[in-house]
Amino acid sequence: MNNENINILLDKNFNSINKIILSRQDVITGLLPASTAINAHGDYTDAWVRDNVYSILSVWGLSLAYKKHAPEHYRAHILKQSVVKLMRGLLIAMMRQSNKVEAYKQSHNPLDALHAKYATDTGLAVVGDDEWGHLQLDATSLFVLMIAQMTASGLSLIYTMDEVDFVQNLVHYISRTYSTPDYGIWERGNKINHGTAEINCSSVGMAKAALEAMSGFNLFANSKSQEGVIHIVANDIARSRSTLKSLLPRESDSKETDAALLSIIGYPAYAIEDENLVQKTRDKIINKLAGEYGCKRFLLDGHQSSIEDSSRLHYEPSELYEFADIESEWPLFFTYLLLDALMREDEKAINMWKKKLEPLFVEEDGEKLLPELYIVPFENIEAEKANPKSQKRVANENLPLVWAQSLYMLSEMILEGILEINDIDPLSRRKVIGKKVTSTPLVCIICENDGVKEHLRGFNIESQTLHEVEPISCMHASELSKIYSVLGKNEKLGLTGRDLLTARTVSTSRLHILNGETTLFFPYYFDPKAFYFGFDNNLLVEHYISSLRFAASSWTQSKRPVIAFLVREDMLRDHSKDVIIKLLLDLQSNSCETVKIENVKAEALIELAGSEKIDSIKTIQLEALSIQGVGKNKEEYELAAMQHDWTQVRSIAQKNEIYDIRVEDALIDILIAQKRLAVGRAYSVDAIIDKPQKASEIIQTISKYCGENNAEKVLTQEIILHIGHLIKIEPELFTNMLTLRTWDCIQLLVGHISKEKSLSLGDAYEELLRYAPYGIYDTLRFIFKSYSQEVKQLKELENFCVLGAKNLDISIPKKSEHNEISEITDWAVWREKVARIGTLRESFYEDVWNILKQCNGLVIGDKYSTQSRIGSELTLESTIGERSFELKIDSLLQSIAIPVYKKLNIELIETLVELFLANPKLYIQNDLILDVLIGHAVRIAWMKKNSEKNYDEYKGEAWSSFYKLSVDEVQENFIEAFSFLMKEEDLK
């Protein structure tokens, strides 16, 4: 392309951008209004953080084009500084609310969140804390991400150390998005618009991208000084990845997909490494949401439809299906798809999205403008519902949506050749997709003293003492946690840095250069000041090997991870020292449990291992390990742990209220896997934890709801820690479970020991307290694993249970000929165990949803409680794949305190599923009360064998007998009870 053509294109784009965007920029604050419209749907003249960042992207793109093709032109300076002015306008608006950043870090309360929008002309707040869904972590994350991208492109956005500290605190602010419910990109959270926050993948992905972009990034650009460097806790990125893997292609509990996900699978975030998951998510968005005029935001979205009541902020649940097939379509999302195709250099997709966008522009004053959305006119709604995508839609009055216009103009500059994809992605975020996350971990064996080294030498194991690895200093992970807690601390802004959290393996697996000194951190489970787990050799080895596996399969950083092993004296005194020796021999052979590793001397780490340099820690005192400082002055608790007197250890821990701060991390791992945690013996809403909590809050809940049995509260902690570990390394054990109950786990452990060792339940509990932590972990793993397989076998048998006839067919074929069924000798025990584990067949919740299509409602649990009813009207506010519906059903099942009875409820639901599938025209006009059906089934079963006895006098025996019946017999009695409750004429 010759210079004349380039200049023509530069002029054309400048004139458009100046007219559409720069003319709107406030001369004082540099901020942009989302639009000039003020209508029934809101005042769009405010400056939304998200809209401002997206709107300025085209200006940034054009500034880069001028920088490349006409760097001396005055416009190059104007464009660049216009971008700087807006980004700094947002920065200053947020810095005025630094008190909110600090408050939110402590409380995680949405009312403490940074505001989502500001006054365009002042940068001040325009609505109160409780008058808007301000907690929109995607917007803050987008701002942080683009600070990094724009700085990398050559802009100077951050001027002072106070501003560096504030950005560091913004990183802290978004760091736990992976487990934080927020209001998301559409500002209302749950799609009903009741203001209920939920975890949104679009927020998690944008936060992950921001954290990755800011990791080790110098805000002072090319400065060699470290003062402008931002530090990231690597585990936050790893957990964000886990959350995305767990949730996608869903957006949230209430949205099975959302067009907002385009921003994280493509430009600007590129948050997903897995190419298949990216494609799966994109395909679902296009298949479910794309229309002729753009994409719907999400299914059943009533925003700005012609039948929406704009005077109300929320919808009634029954209203949602009124919006089916007439949801507004947004051209905005076609611009995302076009830009994504350009960044992928997919010519076919580029041409398709260009063609789809062309008829959507509205010409005004010579400019082609993209409206916010297209709606179905009121008079065409009936026809559109009858034949989706058949009716012409009309643009709303918000013209243009500057956010959409900016993304299109950015695409247009790339299409015209004056801008390249590298220009708007200087950090190469797009290369994250398909990036391999594997490595060969480095291992270093370090002994606490010369005596341990000589002991190991007797097994031909070479090692180094703490003294021999100098000048490298060795510290426990708790010291690294202290360092993170002061990053970003700024007295003038009232900012304290990050909350004190456990430094996980992914964080300790790097060398740290602290004020010029090279430091090696041991994994957190080596710290003797932590919980007593570190004194159980078997459990320590289990955790260490898990760390190696994680580092080998999930390492994304430069150079290689290092996972040092600290050998203490007490590890070699016990009969379980063999497991330590075996591990060390494996490490020395450069292979461990199929994981390829490299065992090296400490001095080799300086060249081979990844590292992070932190110079801003002069305000804290760190404690390095030394030969004199290890193993001295042990308290009673530590002595008992070193001697492996686990009963004594647990007794002391409970008496002195000793707890492990890692329960906070374990809870987060459980939540990331989309599970809930219930603690205590009795079901209570307050005992179910479904949001992140501090360790002290978790312990308080445990104390409130656990019994007073010896060490029960400590055992509950152990269970939480074990589940947190298992759910990371073997998530398949928890398939189709929603609520994990610690008391059920304890009872299952006691029952297992009782049966295995022929002990009474009381003696079995005392025996459990004598178990080493690894013994409890291994038994718990066995329980989860064995019963998951048992339920799987039963699910296969269920596939042969078929009902089918023109008239109601209530016969059910027997299953007794199958060997798998005959292997179960005690059905009551089986039911209790399966109920405690909580595994359900994969389609269970969809089946319940379908049942509600053929009856007025279901009553699950206490028939006298209105809270136990789930009506068919619920299908009007939800789609079949929503997790919020699953949680509702799970909550009702969890309210049934007796496990075997809960299992009967599940079996009855499964029987009803088969009945309704075989009889699709069957409809029950009143509620199906499960308690009534089961009660009649128990009576019928009892009377078959005891017709001479008065059922009312033998109810206890009848129920005990019923629990012991096989699944075939129970199902038969359920059908007979169903028939009994139907009118005689209904059976003809």
DSSP structure string for 476-538: -HHHHHHHHHHTT-BTTTTB--S------HHHHTSEEEETTEEEEE--GGG-TTS-GGGG-HH
463 near 444, Cβ under 8 Å?
A: no
- The count of other CB atoms within 10 Å of the CB of residue 515 is 12
Sign of CA dihedral 232, 233, 238, 239: negative
Q: What is the pLDDT at residue 637?
A: 81
Residue 757 identity: K
What is the rounded average pLDDT of the residues 647-654? 89
> For the purposes of burial, counting CB atoms within 10 Å of the CB of 664, is it exposed (0-12), middle (13-18) or buried (19 or more)?
buried
What is the rounded average pLDDT of the residues 60-81? 96
Task: Let me know whether 767 and 845 are in one domain.
Answer: no
In a domain, 818, yes or no: no
**In terms of pLDDT, which residue wins out, 915 or 286?**
286
User: How would residue 313 be classed by pLDDT, with cut points 50, 70 and 90?
Assistant: low
Cis peptide upstream of residue 268 (ω within 30 degrees of 0): yes
Q: What is the pLDDT at residue 810?
A: 65
Task: State the Cα–Cα distance between residues 372 and 354, nearest whole angstrom.
Answer: 18
What is the rounded average pLDDT of the residues 695-710? 83
150 near 61, Cβ under 8 Å?
A: no
In a domain, 815, yes or no: no
Q: Where are the alpha helices (DSSP H) in 177-231?
A: 201-214
For residue 100, is pLDDT > 50? Answer: yes
User: How would residue 681 be classed by pLDDT, with cut points 50, 70 and 90?
Assistant: low
Burial 73-100 (b: 16+ CB within 10 A, else e): eebbebbbebbbbbbbbbbbbbbebbeb
Q: Give kind and range of the element (H or E) at residue 741.
A: strand 739-741
In a domain, 518, yes or no: yes
- Domain span at 714: 633-798
pTM: 0.84
User: How would residue 819 be classed by pLDDT, with cut points 50, 70 and 90?
Assistant: very low
490 near 160, Cβ under 8 Å?
A: no
Q: What is the pLDDT at residue 787?
A: 58
Cα–Cα separations (whole angstroms), residue 660 to 522, 534, 882, 939:
17, 11, 35, 50
In a domain, 979, yes or no: yes
Task: Let me know whether 648 and 514 are in one domain.
Answer: no
Helices (H) and strands (E) in the chain, counts: 36, 24
For residue 30, is pLDDT > 70? Answer: yes
> For the purposes of burial, counting CB atoms within 10 Å of the CB of 131, is it exposed (0-12), middle (13-18) or buried (19 or more)?
exposed
Q: What is the pLDDT at residue 786?
A: 78
What is the rounded average pLDDT of the residues 614-631? 65
283-286 own/partner pairs: CB under 8 Å, 24+ apart: 284/249, 284/257, 285/249, 285/257, 285/258, 285/259, 285/261, 285/333, 286/337
Q: Give kind and range of the element (H or E) at residue 197.
A: none
Q: What is the pLDDT at residue 790?
A: 33
Q: What is the pLDDT at residue 444?
A: 95
* Helix, strand and coil in the chain, % to nearest 5: 50, 10, 40
What is the rounded average pLDDT of the residues 731-752? 85
Q: Using one digit for the tens of pLDDT, what is the confidence trace for 279-307? A: 999 999 999 999 999 999 999 988 888 88
Question: 412, 432, 452 — which closes off a domain?
Answer: 432
In a domain, 627, yes or no: no
Please tell me what DSSP assigns to residue 126.
-
In a domain, 813, yes or no: no
Task: Let me know whether 275 and 370 are in one domain.
Answer: yes
What is the rounded average pLDDT of the residues 85-102? 97
What is the rounded average pLDDT of the residues 815-838? 72
Task: State the Cα–Cα distance between residues 375 and 330, nearest whole angstrom.
Answer: 9
Hey, what are 617's tokens?
Answer: 């820690």
- Could you tell me whether strands 591-592 and 595-596 are parallel, antiparallel, or unpaired per DSSP bridges? antiparallel
Task: State the Cα–Cα distance between residues 277 and 433, nearest whole angstrom.
Answer: 10
Q: Using one digit for the tens of pLDDT, what is the confidence trace for 495-536? A: 998 887 888 888 899 999 998 899 999 999 998 777 888 889
Q: What is the pLDDT at residue 789?
A: 47
For residue 978, is pLDDT > 60? Answer: yes
Q: Nearest CA to 260 among 324, 322, 201? A: 201
CA 987 to the chain's CA centroid: 49
> For the purposes of burial, counting CB atoms within 10 Å of the CB of 616, is it exposed (0-12), middle (13-18) or buried (19 or more)?
buried
Hey, what are 494's tokens?
Answer: 């009232």
Q: How many domains does the chain have?
A: 4
Hey, what are 64's tokens?
Answer: 């880069």
Task: Let me know whether 389 and 475 are in one domain.
Answer: no
Q: Rg for the chain (alpha carbons), in Å?
A: 31
For residue 60, is pLDDT > 80? Answer: yes
Q: Using one digit for the tens of pLDDT, what is the confidence trace for 132-181? A: 889 999 999 999 999 999 999 999 999 999 999 999 999 999 999 999 99
In a domain, 819, yes or no: no
User: How would residue 41 be classed by pLDDT, with cut points 50, 70 and 90?
Assistant: low
Please tell me what DSSP assigns to residue 688.
E
What is the rounded average pLDDT of the residues 530-553? 90
473 near 483, Cβ under 8 Å?
A: no
Task: Let me know whether 540 and 404 are in one domain.
Answer: no
Q: What is the pLDDT at residue 707?
A: 67
Q: Using one digit for the tens of pLDDT, what is the confidence trace for 364-413? A: 988 899 999 999 999 998 998 899 999 999 999 888 999 999 999 999 99
Task: State the Cα–Cα distance between residues 575 and 58, nearest whole angstrom.
Answer: 68
Task: State the Cα–Cα distance between residues 452 and 449, nearest whole angstrom.
Answer: 6
Contacts of 503 (CB under 8 A, 6+ apart): 233, 235, 477, 478, 480, 481, 484, 521, 524
Tell me which residue has tokens 């459980």: 670
- The count of other CB atoms within 10 Å of the CB of residue 231 is 22
Q: What is the pLDDT at residue 820?
A: 54
Task: Let me know whether 735 and 610 are in one domain.
Answer: no
Q: What is the pLDDT at residue 802?
A: 30
Q: What is the pLDDT at residue 340?
A: 96
Q: What is the pLDDT at residue 99?
A: 96
Q: Give kind and range of the element (H or E) at residue 142.
A: helix 137-152
For residue 557, is pLDDT > 70? Answer: yes
Q: What is the pLDDT at residue 42?
A: 58
Q: Using one digit for the tens of pLDDT, what is the confidence trace for 249-279? A: 999 989 999 999 999 999 999 999 999 999 9
User: How would residue 854 be classed by pLDDT, with cut points 50, 70 and 90?
Assistant: confident
Task: Let me know whether 574 and 594 are in one domain.
Answer: yes
> In the predicted model, what is the mean pLDDT of the chain?
87
**What is the greatest pairwise CA distance in the chain?**
105
Question: 432, 451, 466 — which closes off a domain?
Answer: 432
In a domain, 363, yes or no: yes
Task: State the Cα–Cα distance between residues 613 and 618, nearest whole angstrom.
Answer: 13
Q: Give kind and range of the element (H or E) at residue 374.
A: strand 374-375
Task: Let me know whether 732 and 658 are in one domain.
Answer: yes
Task: Let me know whether 462 and 407 are in one domain.
Answer: no
What is the rounded average pLDDT of the residues 100-127? 94
271 near 433, Cβ under 8 Å?
A: no
Residue 932 identity: V
Task: Let me know whether 348 and 207 are in one domain.
Answer: yes
Q: What is the CATH number of the domain that holds 88?
A: 1.50.10.10
Task: State the Cα–Cα distance between residues 807 and 988, nearest whole angstrom.
Answer: 8
Question: 401, 432, 463 — which closes off a domain?
Answer: 432
User: How would residue 872 be classed by pLDDT, with cut points 50, 70 and 90?
Assistant: confident
Task: Let me know whether 420 and 521 are in one domain.
Answer: no
- The count of other CB atoms within 10 Å of the CB of residue 757 is 10
- The count of other CB atoms within 10 Å of the CB of residue 20 is 21
- Least confident span in 200-209, 466-475, 792-801, 834-843: 792-801
For residue 598, is pLDDT > 90? Answer: yes
Task: Let me know whether 42 and 150 are in one domain.
Answer: yes
405 near 50, Cβ under 8 Å?
A: no
Q: Nearest CA to 716 among 733, 698, 738, 734? A: 698
